[in-house]
Structure 1
Amino acid sequence: MEKWEYLTAPLLIHNTKMILDNFGDEGWELVTVLPGQNSEQLVAYFKRKKEQ
């Protein structure tokens, strides 16, 4: 059975691409992005397979 780990991270609107690229380089897959606590912030949810 595959096992997953999850991560949430804040995204600043003016720096979104760089932040997402960095997580992608580390093997994280973006699941969704939702609004944060204010209009300048988003929250990204990621997953990746756990290494066994």
Structure 2
Amino acid sequence: MTTWEYATVPLLTHATKAILDQWGADGWELVQVIPGPTGSENLVAYMKRPRA
């Protein structure tokens, strides 16, 4: 059975693609993006990847 590790990543609106590309290159898969605790201007990405 696959076990997963998870991460939450704050996204900067001017660098969203670069941030997600970097995490993806490190093996992380994007699960969801939601507004951060301070409102819709700040986004938080939820990521997962299989544990090694």
Distance in structure 2 (CA, Å) of the matches to 1:12 and 1:44:
10
Aligned Cα RMSD in Å?
Answer: 0.9
Distance in structure 2 (CA, Å) of the matches to 1:39 and 1:3:
31
Note the C-alpha offset of 1:40.
2.9
Show structure 1 runs of 5+ residues with no match: none
Taking structure 2 as the reference length, what is the TM-score of the superposition? 0.91
Taking structure 1 as the reference length, what is the TM-score of the superposition? 0.91
Show structure 2 runs of 5+ residues with no match: none
Aligned length: 51
| Greater fraction of residues in helix | 1
**Counterpart of 2:15 in 1: which secondary structure?**
helix
| Greater fraction of residues in strand | 2
